[in-house]
Amino acid sequence: MEEFMTRYHQWLASDKVDEETKAELRALEGNDDEIEFRFGSYMTFGTGGLRSKMGAGCGMMNIYTVAQSTEGVARVIETLGDEAKARGVIIGYDSRNNSALYARRCAEVLTAHGIKVYLFDELRPTPMLSAGVRYYKCIAGINITASHNPAAYNGYKLYWEDGAQPTAETADYVSSFIYSTDIFDGVPTRDQVNEDLITMVGRDFDEYFMEKCIGEQVYPDVIGRDADNLEVIYTPLCGAGYRIVPEVLRRIGVKHLSTVDCQMTPDGNFPGLAKPNPEYPAAFEEGIKVASTVKSDLIIATDPDCDRVGVMARDRSGEFHCITGNQMGSLLLDYIFCALEEQGKMPEDAYAIKTIVTSEMATKICAVHNVELYNVLTGFKFIAEVIGEHEERGEGTYMLGYEESYGYMKGDYSRDKDGVVASMLICEMAAYYNLKGMTLIDAINSLYEKYGYYMENSAEIYMEGLDGKEQIAALMNKLRGANPAELAGSPVVNIRDYLAETSKNMITGEVTGTGLPKSNVMYWATENGNVVVARPSGTEPKIKFYILANGADRTAAETNTVACTNALEDMLGMAHGSLKK
């Protein structure tokens, strides 16, 4: 009998599996492909934890895989001694179906080991979980969320004592404990919970967090000066930002705040949202309807766990446009620098952080403002590492960290992207430009005129199913064999394979290290500064592609973007126009 089928029958036969789950499993009888999909392998516990569709099976998110993972975390904490157990673990969750149930199961397993637990009394934004780790001085944190994935998914994010997601070394160590644990007999039962070790986290911590967010204002009086003109629409996309974000905006002086009422109630089914992701224009359809009523020029959306934020803004003709993550990051970076300089508050030792797949406009902005810029791999844990290193050395003033996928972080109280503080800063920035007679679309165009024309394109190829991982690996290997001489008419001068940890100078032939941790990423750079990057997603069955182009003017930048995309399609053996976001 195939191993996946053996596991399937073990679950059916176990007296630890509830009858509802067994009924779901019995309904799969005869569907060997689905059984293999669910039982063919375990979910991979990476630096971002776990993420998968919900359902019965060892390769799915369910009460049993959540308990097994938490058992592994508990056993790691036990090796650290009684002090670590007393410091405890803080647990949060978002609006997804079963998130509260999974969070409660985590608390049961941990307290059975004598580990203190801080459990949020209702759903909260992800950055609050990260901030909670630091505030309560916990040894770790667990957040039940699948971020912006469709409704069928859920996930398990692990945070370590600095409030950031763990390094690959720590994640591998935790994984070794998880997968050496029997999923049924090795996990405490639900009646072994120690309620005395659970402290509920409520509105007092909300006040702390909101105070910290508000403390990150750059121009504290700018919204007050534009309060009568600033019209803002907000939607949490049925997620965890529904209460905290509007409250922060009201407290900083936003008088005209409208909400998308049909999306203000937390709902794990995300009605009307195929993808509750503010990267996609479709997520703003209901917001645009509200905008037509209240005549707002600005719509802000946060994803279900409120760590990402997207924006649509009107241009002067009245048409709404999505502001990309790259554009918003550049806008915020320039705004923060300019606003501080105007007030004489710009620190001399300022530094900022972006990921290698994020627009190179940041490089120019930081150079003009004499700010040191760090480039890191995708993931806020790498941004957090740079901040931690500076703190240890006691040097540098952190200004902003961000990535193109709509994640921004300002302040030192959290170590993850923060849709709450970002929403606040976006409103503040909109008021700043309003006072100058400019829309945010005008502001983007002014950045191009000031720093040069940078255009980006991103695309993805989904590879789901039983052989999805093998297809992704094969396609990445194909790209590793590609050695284009030029991209968009400019010679390729550098090829980096972050998995092999090599950076090859194509002019001299010299091969050096990448200077960054090992990761499954390919990177091509041209003489004129265009960049193409390919990397598999860490949370979804897909490969993501990034085109970072520039040009002497808008037309040249757009032309180079298309040409680089065509070159990537040639490397993939695809027809031009095949790669779409």
Q: Note the pLDDT tens digit of each residue in 142-183.
A: 999 999 999 999 999 999 999 999 988 899 999 999 999 999
pLDDT given at position 551: 92
Asked whether the predicted pLDDT for residue 48 surpasses 80, the reply is: no
For the segment 353-362, the average pLDDT, to the nearest whole number, is: 96
For the segment 419-438, the average pLDDT, to the nearest whole number, is: 97
Q: If 0-12 CB within 10 Å is exposed, 13-18 middle and 19+ buried, where does residue 305 land? A: buried
For the segment 110-134, the average pLDDT, to the nearest whole number, is: 98
Asked whether the predicted pLDDT for residue 580 surpasses 70, the reply is: no
Whole-Å CA distances, 491 to 22, 483, 505, 570: 59, 11, 12, 16
Distance between CA 125 and CA 92 in Å, rounded?
8
Per DSSP, the three-state class of 103 is: helix
330 CB-near residues (< 8 Å, 6+ apart): 359, 361, 362, 365, 444, 447, 451, 454
**Residue 330 among the catalytic residues:** no
pLDDT given at position 67: 98
Structure tokens at 444: 């983007």
Where do we find the tokens 């909670």? 132
pLDDT given at position 245: 98
201-228 pLDDT, tens digit each: 999 999 999 999 999 999 999 999 999 9
Q: Which residues, listed in sequence order, are joined to residue 38 by a DSSP beta bridge?
A: none
Distance between CA 349 and CA 394 in Å, rounded?
11
Distance between CA 475 and CA 536 in Å, rounded?
10
Domains of the chain plus CATH, in order, are 1-40 (no CATH), 42-201 (3.40.120.10), 210-447 (3.40.120.10), 453-572 (3.30.310.50)
Q: If 0-12 CB within 10 Å is exposed, 13-18 middle and 19+ buried, where does residue 73 land? A: buried
Asked whether the predicted pLDDT for residue 45 surpasses 90, the reply is: no
Which range among 75-84, 315-324, 468-477, 519-528 shows the weakest confidence by mean pLDDT?
468-477
- Confidence category of residue 581, pLDDT binned at 50, 70, 90: low
Measured in residues, the chain has a length of 581
pLDDT given at position 164: 96
Closest of 277, 284, 230 to residue 262, by C-alpha: 284
Distance between CA 169 and CA 440 in Å, rounded?
42
pLDDT given at position 295: 87
Distance between CA 420 and CA 246 in Å, rounded?
9
pLDDT given at position 145: 97
Q: Which residues of 547-574 are buried (b: 16+ CB within 10 A; e: fewer)?
A: bbbbbeeeebbebbbbbbbbbbbebbee
Distance between CA 188 and CA 54 in Å, rounded?
22
Distance between CA 571 and CA 581 in Å, rounded?
18
441-454 pLDDT, tens digit each: 999 999 999 999 99
Phi, psi of 355 (to 5 degrees): -90, 165
Q: Which residues, listed in sequence order, are joined to residue 522 by a DSSP beta bridge?
A: 497, 534
Phi, psi of 502 (to 5 degrees): -125, 145
Q: Are 428 and 227 in contact (CB under 8 A)?
A: no
242-265 pLDDT, tens digit each: 999 999 999 999 999 999 999 999
- The pTM for the full model equals 0.94
Which range among 409-413, 472-476, 522-526 shows the weakest confidence by mean pLDDT?
472-476
Distance between CA 521 and CA 536 in Å, rounded?
7
Enclosing H/E stretch for 22: helix 19-26
100-111 pLDDT, tens digit each: 999 999 999 999
Which range among 157-161, 319-323, 542-546, 571-575 shows the weakest confidence by mean pLDDT?
571-575
Mean pLDDT of the chain: 95
Structure tokens at 219: 């121009």
- Residue type for position 114: G
pLDDT given at position 431: 97
Which range among 305-309, 321-325, 577-581 shows the weakest confidence by mean pLDDT?
577-581
- Residue type for position 346: M
User: Looking at per-residue confidence, does 340 or 48 come out higher?
Assistant: 340
Going by the DSSP 8-state scheme, the letter that residue 192 receives in this structure is G
The residue annotated as part of the active site, out of 147, 258, 414, 519, is: 147
Per DSSP, the three-state class of 428 is: helix
Asked whether the predicted pLDDT for residue 388 surpasses 80, the reply is: yes
Distance between CA 153 and CA 136 in Å, rounded?
29
- Confidence category of residue 493, pLDDT binned at 50, 70, 90: very high
Distance between CA 11 and CA 143 in Å, rounded?
26
